[in-house]
């Protein structure tokens, strides 16, 4: 069997696995072939952008994001366009999501939570000062770099279809309901800055309590709780942080605490270090202009091959928790997990399909990727699972199984059932055999 060539290339970037997806975009791991640097490649569909009349909004957001160089915001390097796609090249952040720390270690002590909250407020304050509002601050958008510093991702790119209307307010209710401000849910228009602050307050509560302040399986009840700020602070919180949370989670946006007031708060100020960074770097916006003028001479070249993506050692290491590749194939997982197999790629795909159908899933296949969708709606709509087969060596494949949509607990349950059916496909080492 020949070692397959890289499956896809966009300009100078070698494109690998999908690491996230949303309504308007997909994010893929990629590598700059000239420097070897890893990046995250956000891919937008031009047709969708035009259909939703988002081109001007995206152009403005992307141009602003290129100018934002802040240590607590994911960096935007460049923008490229092809006939059908817009490619946004972002900094690849390796430390995982902040909230994985809570999943794995439980709630944080106040000193640790304060450090992350200070970095979050620094990022939000800086972007607001440049007219950029996040509008969808939630756990998935808070990443950590290799040094453990907070990086807010998707700033200004998360709610691309939103427009400020003539009254100067935003009018699209969006975001994850548990983190959304009451005025956003009420649909009378809202101020992006005060709405972002409410979400920061919910995040601070979760860091300190280990659970959400507003939660209810019934959406109407959840909205009622949010609208009148119906929550209870846990007894172990200090008086000063309770006071701060109460001032942030104020259901009236007119009396809610502002960022300048947070910066003066006694709890917040403890051990506070303002961010140090160089803002004076020259930033070129020619690529943004070229992409949105859509001139063919500026189109980036795309190359595709119909084989499993070959995964190089660098990518393997970037996916593991360190240089120990044993970590790659462990059983601890959140919204995604991986296993290795010595079976041929086609056989793996067929076995997954045979295992998923009796569990009530529709299966769509494209090359070495599959999308499994549960016919029955669960707690958060229909569970969607994306799988992809990568080639690690001529006779070894790695399979990634990722939750694309739906409830994480339902995904865990699905994976447990799936792995039972795939026991003969998963490659087991001698240690695994002895452990049984």
**Cβ partners under 8 Å of residue 360, min gap 6:** 374, 375, 376
Give the separation between CA 195 and CA 251, rounded to whole angstroms. Answer: 10
Active site residues: 136
Compute CA 68 distance to the chain's CA centroid, rounded to the nearest angstrom.
19
Check: CB of residue 124 under 8 Å from CB of residue 200: yes
Check: CB of residue 309 under 8 Å from CB of residue 319: no
Task: Look at residues 234, 222, 113 and name the one whose alpha carbon lies nearest to residue 177.
Answer: 222
Cβ burial 330-346 (10 Å sphere, 16+ → b, else e): eeeeeebbbbbbebebe
Q: Kindly list the strands in the beta sheet with 38-45, ordered across the sheet, starting from the edge strand earlier in the chain.
A: 76-81, 85-91, 38-45, 25-32, 13-21, 8-10, 302-304
The verdict on whether residue 42 carries a ligand-binding annotation is: yes
Helices (H), 210-357: 219-227, 239-248, 259-262, 266-269, 286-293, 313-319, 345-356
* Adjacent-strand bridge partners of 18: 28
Annotated binding-site residue numbers: 42
Annotated binding-site residue numbers for ATP: 42
């Amino acid at each position: 069997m020949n070692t397959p060539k890289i499956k896809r290339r966009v300009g100078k970037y070698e494109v690998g696995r999908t690491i996230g997806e949303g309504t308007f975009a997909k994010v893929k791991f990629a590598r700059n072939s000239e420097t070897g640097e890893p990046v995250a490649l956000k891919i937008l569909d031009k047709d969708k952008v035009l259909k939703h009349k988002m081109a001007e909004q995206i152009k403005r957001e992307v141009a602003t994001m290129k100018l934002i160089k802040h240590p607590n915001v994911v960096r935007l390097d460049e923008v490229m366009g092809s006939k059908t796609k817009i490619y946004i090249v972002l900094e690849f952040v390796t430390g995982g999501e902040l909230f994985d720390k809570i999943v794995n270690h439980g709630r944080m002590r106040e000193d640790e939570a304060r450090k992350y909250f200070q970095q979050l407020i620094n990022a939000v304050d800086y972007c607001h000062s440049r007219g950029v509002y996040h509008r969808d601050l939630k756990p998935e958008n808070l990443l950590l770099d290799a040094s453990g510093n907070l990086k807010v991702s998707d700033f200004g790119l998360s709610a691309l279809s939103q427009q400020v209307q003539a009254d100067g307010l935003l009018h699209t209710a969006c975001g994850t309901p548990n983190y959304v401000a009451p005025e956003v849910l009420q649909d009378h228009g809202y101020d992006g800055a005060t709405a972002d602050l409410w979400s920061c307050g919910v995040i601070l509560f979760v860091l300190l309590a280990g659970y959400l302040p507003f939660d209810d399986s019934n959406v109407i009840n959840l909205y009622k709780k949010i609208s009148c700020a119906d929550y209870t602070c846990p007894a172990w919180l200090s008086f000063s942080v309770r006071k701060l949370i109460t001032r942030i989670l104020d259901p009236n946006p007119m009396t809610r605490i502002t960022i300048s007031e947070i910066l003066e708060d006694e709890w917040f100020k403890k051990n506070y270090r303002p961010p140090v960074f160089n803002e004076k770097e020259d930033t070129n916006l020619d690529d943004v202009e070229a992409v949105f003028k859509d001139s063919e001479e500026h189109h980036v070249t795309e190359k595709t091959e119909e084989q499993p993506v070959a995964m190089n050692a660098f990518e393997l290491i970037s996916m593991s928790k360190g240089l120990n590749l044993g970590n790659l194939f462990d059983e601890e997982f959140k919204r995604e997990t991986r296993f290795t197999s010595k079976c041929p790629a086609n056989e793996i795909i067929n076995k997954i399909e045979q295992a998923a159908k009796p569990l009530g899933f529709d299966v769509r296949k494209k090359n070495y990727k599959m999308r499994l969708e549960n016919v029955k709606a669960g707690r958060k709509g229909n569970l969607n699972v994306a799988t992809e087969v990568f080639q690690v060596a001529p006779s070894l494949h790695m399979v990634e199984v990722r939750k694309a949509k739906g409830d994480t607990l339902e995904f865990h349950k699905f994976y447990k059932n799936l792995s039972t059916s795939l026991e003969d496909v998963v490659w087991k080492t001698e240690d695994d055999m002895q452990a049984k």
